[in-house]
Amino acid sequence: MTAAVEKIEIRRLDPFEIRAFSHFASSVDPTYLVSAPALAVGVEADGKPAGLALAYFVRAAAVRVAAFVVKEPLRRRGIGKQLYERLIEELLKRGVQLADILASNPEPFLERRCWNLGARLATVYTFSKHVGEAPWLQETIALPPQYQLVPWLDLTEEDRRKALRLMEDDAVARRLDPFHDPGRVFGPSSNALRHDGELVGWCVVHRISQETLQYSSVYVAAKQRRTVAPMILLNYSIREHLRRFEEVPFGIQAVPPELPEIERFANKRLAPWADRVQRVHVWWKQFDAAEAGTV
Ligand SMILES: CC(C)(COP(=O)(O)OP(=O)(O)OC[C@H]1O[C@@H](n2cnc3c(N)ncnc32)[C@H](O)[C@@H]1OP(=O)(O)O)[C@@H](O)C(=O)NCCC(=O)NCCS
């Protein structure tokens, strides 16, 4: 039985209050939570955090909505609608003309509010213990002699230089920057892969919350993408995660469309055992002055 909620309050949060709501924005870099050019509106149910809308300025009149969420048991009661109206009202007051948000396609909530569907950014696979039933995860893959797996935290200077070179040459490697957020790297599941002594890929995993490991950067150099390399990296990382599923029960991986080989791999090897597969797109909306009051 769900307990009846007495009182819903929707209000602006100041930077010191946002921390208590930060679990609604777990995939967002926490610096946004305290940076000044951000706007946060919180939902409280009986005085407890129950939802968050968080937007930060990317240009003078443009924001990225980094979080827009209502706690699961309180959905479909009109709270999201109120949160949305309050957020847009606050944005319009600040002269915002353009907003975007990353969300699934389809996303009826945005469609009904006339947001436009933009580019697909990634396919996001969310998984839990069930992934351990995938046949390719039953055993550790024997490494062919040319390959060598190196714990990410033991990277040599030469490996690091090679990774930086791959990033220089390939925009997708830059976007999947493996050096981002070093403080939250989850060592047991993070490795680099060498082929004939040279670094050709990596799987860098972050613990983004108590419960979730994010496979933030799974990258393989072009010439190795159709080989066993992606499978080696994910096999070792997910198997280490599986050993710790009691402690960290969820995994999430976003594969950008620029890596079709890895996406094909994930669709075949991960999707059937995943809890959820989402196509994440940029959605955007342009506002004009006349819209104030008609959001
Ligand atoms: C998107 C999200 C914030 C909406 O929150 P919500 O509180 O469920 O939103 P609402 O209840 O106002 O509206 C959702 C739907 O519920 C239904 N609904 C609203 N009030 C209702 C009520 N009293 N009784 C029954 N159904 C109701 C409506 O069909 C409504 O659809 P609408 O868009 O046509 O208005 C919520 O689903 C969520 O947190 N999703 C996960 C986060 C996410 O994906 N965010 C990005 C996408 S915007």
How far apart are alpha carbons 174 and 258 in whole angstroms? 12
Q: Which pTM was predicted?
A: 0.80
Q: State the distance from the centre of ligand 1 to the C-alpha of 77, rounded, in angstroms.
A: 7
| Res 135: pLDDT | 97
How far apart are alpha carbons 190 and 204 in whole angstroms? 5
**What kind of fold does domain 8-120+282-291 have according to CATH?**
Aminopeptidase (3.40.630)
Same fold, 8-120+282-291 and 129-274: yes
Q: State the distance from the centre of ligand 1 to the C-alpha of 8, rounded, in angstroms.
A: 15
Q: What pLDDT digit, counting tens, does each position of 233-242 carry?
A: 999 999 999 9
Nearest C-alpha to atom 42 of ligand 1 is from which residue? 69
| Res 206: pLDDT | 95
Sheet of 98-104, strands arranged across:
8-12, 38-45, 48-59, 62-70, 98-104, 276-286, 116-127, 250-255, 212-220, 198-207, 191-195, 147-151
| Res 27: pLDDT | 57
| Res 26: pLDDT | 64
Angle CA 48–50–52, to nearest 5: 120
| Res 33: pLDDT | 58
Domain 129-274 -> CATH class:
alpha beta
- CB within 6 Å of ligand 1 — which residues? 68-70, 75-81, 103, 107, 109-110, 112
Q: State the distance from the centre of ligand 1 to the C-alpha of 65, rounded, in angstroms.
A: 17
Cα dist from 105 to 110, 117, 121, 123, 274, whole Å: 10, 8, 11, 10, 18
Q: What pLDDT digit, counting tens, does each position of 39-66 carry?
A: 999 999 999 999 999 999 989 999 999 9
Mean pLDDT for the stretch of residues 96-118? 96
Q: State the distance from the centre of ligand 1 to the C-alpha of 14, rounded, in angstroms.
A: 25
Ligand 1 atom at shortest distance from the alpha carbon of 72: 39
How far apart are alpha carbons 194 and 4 in whole angstroms? 56
Q: State the distance from the centre of ligand 1 to the C-alpha of 104, rounded, in angstroms.
A: 14
Phi, psi dihedrals of residue 246, rounded to the nearest 5°: -60, -40
Give the pairing of strands 198-207 and 48-59: unpaired
For residue 20, count CB atoms less than 10 angstroms from its CB and return exposed for 0-12, middle for 13-18, buried for 19 or more.
Answer: middle
Ligand 1 atom at shortest distance from the alpha carbon of 102: 46
Helix pair angle (260-269, 229-243), 10° resolution: 50
How far apart are alpha carbons 188 and 117 in whole angstroms? 38
pLDDT at 2 over 80: no
Banded pLDDT at 23 (limits 50, 70, 90): confident
Ligand 1 atom at shortest distance from the alpha carbon of 107: 47
Nearest C-alpha to atom 29 of ligand 1 is from which residue? 76
Domain boundaries, the chain: 8-120+282-291, 129-274
Question: For tokens 């039953």, what's the residue?
Answer: 138
